[in-house]
Amino acid sequence: MKEPVIVTNPERCRNCYRCVRECAVKAIRVKEGHVQVVPELCIMCGSCVRICPQKAKNVPSSRLDIIRARDEGRKIVASVSPSAPAFFDMSTFSDLEKALKEIGFHAAEETAVGCNIVALAHREYFEKGSVPMPVITSTCPVVVNLIEQYNPDLIPHLAPIVSPMIAHARLLAKRYGPDAYIVFIGPCLSKKKEMYGESISNLIYAVMTFLGLQEWFVAMGIECKRSTAVMEPFPEKARLFAIEGGLLGTADMSTDILDNKTIVASGLDACHDVLGGIRTGQLNASLVELLACKGGCVNGPAMAGLAGGVTLSRQKIIEYYTHKQPDLRIPRDDWPPLTRTYLDRREDVPEFSEEQIQEVLHRVNKFTPEDELNCGACGYPSCRQKAIASLRGLAEVTMCIPYMRSRSESLRQVVMDVTPNSIIIIDNDLIIRGMSPSAERLFKCKLSELEGKHLSRLIPVLDDFYYVRDTGQPIYARRRRIRENIIAEQTVVQVEGQALMVAILRDITEREGEREKFNAIREETLQRTREVVSKQMRVAHEIAHLLGETTAESKTTFSHLAKLLQEDGDK
Ligand code: SF4
Ligand code: SF4
């Protein structure tokens, strides 16, 4: 299948490349800042899902598909991985079965039933003797993918036996008929890919992780509760299948680590070592149980984060197994078909010339072998391998962290050097971390004297800085008297995602000085004008007053005179 099973949420992804570093087969493409799993390269180990610090990688849940099938009247039948007792609080399988029935499952059974017959089938195959040695167990789909996609020359060593999930699904399909909608529930993501396998179409309809099931229980208000142990048939040692050595133990074969004939290896690194040993012919073993997750399925990717880790999970599985109850063995004649074949699924890796590789290396300033730091920060073990990944379209040329860092430092330095404004970088404790040359000139000091010192050594009033730090809100171009002799427009911003602030100071001391001078002159002129006007007013007032008095006197005199003249005339 070419559809991605593991998806990346671009909103959450921070392009930290941790998933690329973790992926043992480099099946992750980084393109235009987007990180995606490449289905045809992925072996479904789930390490990227487990490791992503942002929880940006996930496998979409099948819950809605199951609900739809249930509502259409299909019989939903669960096959539950033997790791369940490490995840759910259960003392018997009936505890979990009861909870599953409450959300509409028709029936549930332990995949351990399938584990049992698969383990015995491995023993039968091994005991035939005429097969390529060592035989590699085929129960872990990630190991099968690793061999088919990356080590196809070792396919003849793989036991041609289906996984317990498929063996059990075949038993369930026979028991519950064509209406059965079989759902595998477990800790493993690789089953999502396995269920689409060519030979098993329309057998398993959905794969759900324990985490997905638990979320469903929570949403429905259902709890898987421990009951007092009831007698229930169980598939013997197959309940131990989830821990390393489980297959050999179930098949009653030696799990003695001092026995050179059988090897149990878990974890992808160990698997690589074992496969390398088989290829070179140096490994003498006859049977190798390989599991991709360290410690076994009990440490599958969907078990991540369980309190107590793999050791406690292992202990819970063993406790669960030791509730001795009647055996549930499928008679040999009732076994479903268990054989399978394998395909060489290796993707062709194009060859690139030395010239092409060098051209990519030059683009990130790697001109000599000494320039190749091989630091692994990009996710690739060497600069050369990253260059090849870039040529294959899996990595971006600029994913080189030291290159990006030196580039951003030079860019930052250019900005710091040429800007006329003063830039000060401080951390959230207000400790000076950087200063532009213009800031050094403004404050008449050197960064070397102040780096690591408190900002109050430069700027006495720090209210704006506390405000920005505590609220995250920026302050733009606020006029501030920074010191007695410095006035500036002060911008303070928090650097997103970092405990740093940047202050940009535009020196306006001269302009403000001019303005103050102009204001003083204007004030003085106004004052003088006011004084002159008021003096004029006073004089005018006095003149008017005097004029008023004389006018009144004249008026009286003239009236008197006129009256006398009138009287004279009458006479
Ligand atoms: S681990 Fe991968 S998916 Fe997760 S944030 Fe980093 S780059 Fe993105
Ligand atoms: S699941 Fe494994 S192989 Fe696939 S991309 Fe993630 S880390 Fe790589």
Peptide bond into 53 cis (omega under 30): no
**Predicted pLDDT at 313:** 83
Residues 6+ apart with CB under 8 A from 482: 459, 461, 488, 490, 505
Give Cα 72 to chain centroid, integer Å.
37
Pick from 58, 84, 78: which is nearest to 66 by CA? 78
Which DSSP helix (H) or strand (E) runs through 475?
Answer: strand 475-483
Q: Residue of the nearest CA to atom 5 in ligand 1?
A: 13
Residue 184, SS3 per DSSP: strand
> What is 419-507's CATH superfamily?
PAS domain (3.30.450.20)
In this structure, the residue with its CA closest to atom 7 of ligand 2 is: 23
Distance 480 CA to ligand 2 centre (A): 55
Which of 424, 427, 428, 462 minimizes the C-alpha distance to 441? 424
Asked if 304 and 310 count as a contact pair (C-beta separation under 8 A), the reply is no
> What is the C-alpha separation between 196 and 204, in angstroms, rounded?
8
43 Cα to the center of ligand 2, angstroms? 6
CB 131 within 8 A of CB 269: no
Residue whose Cα lies nearest atom 6 of ligand 2: it is: 48
**How far, in Å, from the CA of 23 to the mean position of ligand 2?**
5
**Beta strands 7-8; 57-58: pairing state:** antiparallel
If one counts every other C-beta atom within 10 angstroms of the C-beta of residue 69, the result is 19
Ligand 2 center to 55 CA (angstroms): 14
Residue 350 token pair: 């194009």
N residues, the chain: 571
Q: Is the CB of 18 inside a 6 Å radius of any atom of ligand 1?
A: yes
Secondary structure of the chain: what % helix, strand, coil (to 5)?
45, 15, 35
**Residues 153/4, Cβ–Cβ less than 8 Å:** no
Cβ-contact 248, 264 below 8 angstroms: yes
Query: Which CATH fold topology does 61-326 show?
Result: Fe-only Hydrogenase (Larger Subunit); Chain L, domain 3 (3.40.950)
- Answer whether 56 contacts ligand 1 (Cβ < 6 A): yes
- The set of residues, in sequence order, having a beta carbon less than 8 Å from that of 395 and lying 6+ positions away, is 20, 29, 30, 378, 379, 380, 386, 389
Atom of ligand 1 nearest to the CA of 57: 3
Sign of CA dihedral 147, 338, 329, 93: positive
Task: Give residue 76's pLDDT.
Answer: 97
Residue 14 Cβ contacting ligand 1 at under 6 Å: yes
Q: What's the whole-model pTM score?
A: 0.74
Instruction: Return the pLDDT at 558.
Output: 57
Between the CA of 459 and the centroid of ligand 2 the distance, in Å, is 52
**Amino acid 468: pLDDT:** 94
- Per residue of the chain (571 residues), what is the pLDDT tens digit? 556 789 999 999 998 999 999 999 999 999 888 899 999 999 999 999 999 999 999 998 899 999 999 999 999 999 999 999 889 988 888 889 999 999 999 999 999 989 989 999 999 998 887 788 899 999 999 999 999 999 999 999 999 999 999 999 999 999 999 889 999 999 999 998 888 876 666 789 999 999 999 999 999 999 887 776 665 556 667 778 888 888 888 888 866 655 668 889 999 999 999 999 999 999 888 899 999 999 999 898 887 666 667 888 888 888 777 765 656 678 888 899 999 999 999 998 899 999 999 999 999 999 998 888 888 888 999 999 999 999 999 999 888 888 888 887 887 778 888 888 899 999 999 999 988 999 999 999 998 899 999 999 999 999 999 999 999 999 999 999 988 889 999 999 998 878 899 999 999 998 888 888 888 888 888 888 888 888 888 887 887 777 776 666 666 665 666 676 566 555 5
The total of other beta-carbon atoms located within 10 Å of residue 385's CB is 17
Query: If you take atom 4 of ligand 2, which residue's CA is the nearest one?
Result: 42
In three-state secondary structure terms, 46 is: coil
Block residue for tokens 């004030």: 523
The answer to whether 83 and 293 are in contact (CB under 8 A) is no
- Could you tell me the distance, in angstroms and rounded to a whole number, from the CA of residue 58 to the centre of ligand 2? 11
Q: Give the ligand at the shortest distance from the Cα of 4.
A: 2
Ligand closest to CA 18: 1
- How much is the pLDDT for 127? 86
Burial of 187 (0-12, 13-18, 19+ CB in 10 A): buried
**Backbone angle region of 162, left / alpha / beta, with phi > 0 → left and psi within -120 to 50 → alpha:** beta
Measured from the alpha carbon of residue 37, the closest ligand is 2
Ligand 1 lined by 35 (C-beta under 6 Å): yes
Q: Alpha carbon 228 to chain centroid distance?
A: 41
| CB of 13 sitting under 6 A from ligand 1 | yes
